[in-house]
Structure 1
Amino acid sequence: MLKDYKIILASGSPRRQQFFKDFDLQFEIRLKEIEEIYPENLKAEEITNYLAELKAKAFEGELADNEILITSDTLVWLNDKALGKPKDYDDAFQILKSLSNQTHEVITSVCFKTTTKTETIFEITKVSFRELSDDSIRYYLDNYKPFDKAGAYGIQEWIGLIGIHKIEGSYTNVVGLPTEKVYTYLTSYLD
């Protein structure tokens, strides 16, 4: 049963932490700094799978028998290119400009690690932005400062309310965690 396990969430993301609180599950946060570098030949979910697993490997040999470590990684995939977190304001502006009037994919991988096994799942959601004016992009960057978010935006924020006209797939995946898949995995795997 799930209650016999201690869930360790290795994420500093306030959005992911809130989802786990909303699950009504007891969990502990443990963080490690990881350099998020991946081989250049990887594409789409190969990148997020690799990075989620890399984050989990940092805890090798540190887990107790009753602990489940959860790590994850999200990226925006547009025109065969990965868009991660922006480097600065200008980079964020260019990222949002590239998403304007386009459909992109938001890919999140989640790695579950115990002392005996490691498994990774992923979710892909298609998100379509209407055309974004330079003024609306600047307003968003100035007021919401989305510099810690893949693709330089949060769907739950102002830019999502005014700019996104279509979404295909999991909304929570775009926020940062495919909650339905994660909860289903956790409960089925531990029963």
Structure 2
Amino acid sequence: MSQSTGESETELILASASARRAALLAQIGVTPARIVAADLDETPRDDESPRQLAARLARAKAAAVAADFPQAFVLAADTVVVAGRRILGKPTDGEAARLTLARLSGRRHRVFGAVALRAPDGRWGERLVESRVAFARLDAAEIAAYIESGEWQGCAGGYAIQGRAGGFVRFLSGSYSNVVGLPLFETRQLLRGLGGRRFG
């Protein structure tokens, strides 16, 4: 990553590789000047809770990118899906996705979303959001069809609620956009709090 010589203090950088997060920001009228992914080890630490994991990773992503863009606002987020006490990461292949969806079938799970914003003056803002989701009971054919769709790829918990998996959800409490990948209300509050009305 290299810093632009023409970079201004009002520039916003999204520290994420997720196209979903950029699309969500566009919903509230915010377009990052650039999108820069942070390369981090996202392995949970021993005895680290899902809340702590999400918050740590969001801040670490923002800090990593902010080191190269000190005069910009840097926004980062992380999403952690938990069923019972088990953290459900991004499945690495179809079989892992099948096992993840089988675990979610007919059960409630939690989605923790953390957002971190680093301002050019060094101030930080952070928010943590919890949503609760319940899936209907899925049969083997439904799971196989979803895996075939490929929508599970790159998704924490092995599903994208904004796609076909929306039809699996029988209950949702809390922020829908958090489950997609970025809690919009909290993100907007952070942007307005640290960046002023330039971010709407």
Task: Name 1:129's counterpart in structure 2.
Answer: 135
* Alignment size in residue pairs: 187
The 5 A counterparts of 1:81-96 are 81-96=86-101
1:76 deviation in Å?
0.6
Distance 2:170 2:45 in 1: 34
Matched, 1:57 2:63: yes
Secondary structure class of the residue paired with 1:5: coil
Contact 1:6 1:26 in 2 (8 A): no
Equivalents in 1 of 2:65, 2:18: separation in Å?
18
User: Of 18, 22, 31, which aligns to 2:23?
Assistant: 18
Opposite residue 105 of structure 2, the aligned amino acid is: S
Question: Aligned equivalents of 2:36 and 2:66: distance in 1?
Answer: 13
Match of 1:138 among 139, 144, 153: 144
Q: CA deviation at 1:72?
A: 1.0
Equivalent AA in structure 2 for residue 5 of structure 1: T
Structure 2 length-normalised TM = 0.87
Query: CA offsets, 1:78-129, max 9 Å, x none?
Result: 1112111012111110010000110000111111113412332111100001
2:12 to 7, 10, 13: 7
Range that drifts further, 18-27 or 169-178: 18-27
The answer to whether the Cα contact below 8 Å between 1:125 and 1:173 also exists between their aligned partners in 2 is yes
1:182 corresponding residue in structure 2: 187
- What secondary structure does 1:126 align onto? strand
Does 2:160 align with 1:157?
no
Once the 2 structures are TM-superposed, how far is the Cα of residue 12 of structure 1 from its aligned partner?
1.3
Who is 2:116 aligned against? 111
5+ residue gaps, structure 1: none
Q: 2:78 maps to which residue?
A: 73
* Kept after mapping to 2: 8 A contact 1:111/1:121: yes
Aligned equivalent of 2:154: 148
Q: CA RMSD for the aligned pairs?
A: 1.7
Asked if 1:172 corresponds to 2:156, the answer is no
- Residue 4 of structure 1: how far off its partner (Å): 6.0
Give yes or no for the alignment of 1:100 onto 2:105: yes
Q: Indicate if the aligned counterparts of 2:36 and 2:65 stay in contact, CA closer than 8 A.
A: no
SS in 2 for 1:142: helix
Unaligned runs of 5+ in 2: 1-7
Read off the aligned partner of 1:39 and give its amino acid letter: R
Identity of aligned residues (%): 27
SS across alignment from 2:114: strand
Q: Give 2:63's aligned amino acid.
A: K
Between the aligned partners of 1:26 and 1:56, the Cα distance in structure 2 is 17
Q: 1:4-32: per-residue Cα shift (whole Å, max 9, x none)?
A: 62111011111101112222223121223
In the TM superposition, residue 33 of structure 1 has moved relative to its aligned partner by 1.9
Paired with 1:26 and 1:152, the residues of 2 have a C-alpha distance of 27
Report if aligned partners of 1:32, 1:58 keep a CA contact under 8 Å in 2: yes
